[in-house]
Amino acid sequence: MTLMNDFPSVPDLEAEAYKRMPKFAWDYLAGAAGDERGLAHNRAAYDAVRFVADYLPERRAPNTKHTIFGQTFDFPFGVSPVGQSGLIWPRSAEYLAAAAKKRNIPFCLSMLATSSIEKIGAIAGKNAWFQLYPVRDPGITKDILDRAKAAGFGALLVTVDTPAGRRTLRDQRNGLTVPPRMSPFNLARMFAHPAWLAATMAQGLPKFETMVPYYPPDADITGVAALQNTIMARGMDLKGLEAVRKMWDGPMLCKGVLSASDARDCQNIGVEGVVLSNHGGRQSESLISPLEALPSVRDAVGDKLVVTVDSGSRSGLDVARAMALGADFVFMGRAFMFAVCALGEAGADHVAELLGIEFAQAMGQIGCFEIKNLPRHLASDRGNSWPSNRPN
């Protein structure tokens, strides 16, 4: 019995996570906006990418290492930022940061995670990247970024795709609040999931550790309302992004880009990269998949901008698919979180190893030994017109 046999794929981990989590936590992690068809659309974009295999060239081990912003990682994928991480599974950010350091991939810490900048910097050093949401007071933004720099974070992601409130109907139906309301209904659900409850009791109520110094006096530091009403801003426009650019002297990516014009704007103000993302379908069910956006963004910016993607990837094969379409790097949110929710600390390392094995196998199977050659194996580029590499 090994983890690799018991949980040989992300969907296996997802099924186990579902069993171990109270409904409100599961729905917060797995759910999406509106009718949730954005999730299926993101998936369809990946499933439609097909490869042509070359079996006869001389065999060698695929080289999975990949350099981005001067940092060489063992694989071209990393962990997306996930807010309210401790509500989903206590200490999940710490477990994933440690696994990322061990397996040499990047871990992005959300500003709204429940583990602090300082804690994660000490665990993952340069493998830790920091994700910033729009904040009203530039003084607070500067202070947060100075802390990330002092803690040794390697790069900055600035998320711009939350300009309007989101309609996540599962959360509304569950009456999800942070911290969770101790209604009889929620309490019953917590007690029905003893592993989650024990981990939560050991850790204490999650709070937004990075943000604690900025709460107004007397505010409840475990609550999200004080943050939203006093500290955070809605969206961020180009002027705001440019101001952040001037405060951070390392590599910076704008997260949530879906249009060629936004990508070009980023390039014009000296932002080095973008994360093409629809926030995993969590902001609107109507948005284009980042894989669909990739060709037009690439046409607009050429090789001068680092173009990474997230939203919908669930395997090492998916990473190969996105890289073949021209991505420079791939991030995953739920895939990593499902693993921690399924297996706790052991899940973080397991999924990092699993995704690496899947990625190397995907390359080996099609006879591709260098990441830069993946595009040559796309079915659509080899005269195979069916199935198309574009989702319907």
Ligand X SMILES: Cc1cc2nc3c(=O)[nH]c(=O)nc-3n(C[C@H](O)[C@H](O)[C@H](O)COP(=O)(O)O)c2cc1C
Please give the distance of CA 341 from its chain centroid, rounded to a whole number: 16
What is the Cα 358 distance to its own chain's centre?
A: 18
* Contact string (CB under 6 A) for ligand X, positions 178-217, x = contact: ----------------------------------------
Nearer to ligand X, 25 or 379 (CB): 25
Q: Residue 88 CB, nearest distance to ligand X (Å)?
A: 6
Residues 323-362: x where in contact with ligand X by CB under 6 A, - otherwise, as a string: ---------xxxx---------------------------
The residue from 127, 141, 210, 313 that contacts ligand X (CB under 6 A) is: 313
Site for ligand X in 5-34 (CB under 6 A): 28-29
Six token digits for residue 303: 């090789």
- In the complex, least distance from residue 225 CB atom to ligand X, rounded to whole angstroms: 16
Nearer to ligand X, 10 or 123 (CB): 10
- Among the options 41, 66, 193, 279, which is catalytic? 279
Closest distance of CB 372 from ligand X, Å: 24
Query: 209-242 burial, b if ≥16 CB within 10 A, otherwise e?
Result: bbbeebbeeebeebbbebbeeebbeeebeeebbb
Using CB under 6 A, pick the residue from 94, 262, 265, 310 that binds ligand X: 310
The answer to whether the beta carbons of residues 77 and 106 sit under 8 Å apart is no
The DSSP output letter for 230 is I
Tokens of 271: 């932002």
When binding is defined by CB under 6 A, the residue of 64, 80, 92, 200 that contacts ligand X is: 80
Cβ-defined contacts of 296-301 (< 8 Å, 24+)? 296/259, 296/260, 297/257, 297/259, 297/260, 297/263, 298/326, 299/260, 300/260, 300/261, 300/263, 300/264, 301/260, 301/263, 301/264, 301/267
Q: Which residues pair with 232 in a beta bridge?
A: 135
Beta bridge partners, 67, equal 72
Using the rule CB under 6 A, is 311 a contact of ligand X?
Answer: yes
What phi and psi values does residue 31 have, to the nearest 5 degrees?
Answer: -75, 175
Amino acid of residue 245: R
* CB-closest chain residue to ligand X: 333
Among residue numbers 248 through 277, which ones bind ligand X (CB under 6 A)?
A: 255, 277
279 catalytic per annotation: yes
Binding status of residue 112 toward ligand X by CB under 6 A: yes
Minimum CB distance to ligand X smaller for 17 or for 305 = 17
What the block records as the tokens of 234 is 């809605």
**Nearest to ligand X of 40, 187 (CB atom):** 40
Q: Which secondary-structure segment (H or E) carries 92? A: helix 92-103
Determine the size of the site formed for ligand X (CB under 6 A).
23
Q: Which is nearer to ligand X, 47 or 373 (CB)?
A: 47
Nearest residue (CB) to ligand X, 163 versus 381: 163
The single residue among 189, 279, 298, 321 that binds ligand X, judged by CB under 6 A, is: 279
Phi first, then psi, for residue 165 (nearest 5°) are: -60, 150
Residues in contact with ligand X, shown as a per-residue x/- string from 130 to 159 under the rule CB under 6 A = -x---------------------------x
Angstrom distance (rounded) from CA 137 to CA 142: 9
Q: Return residues touching ligand X (CB under 6 A).
A: 28-29, 80-83, 110, 112, 131, 159, 255, 277, 279-280, 282, 310-313, 332-335
Query: Which amino acids are annotated catalytic?
Result: 279
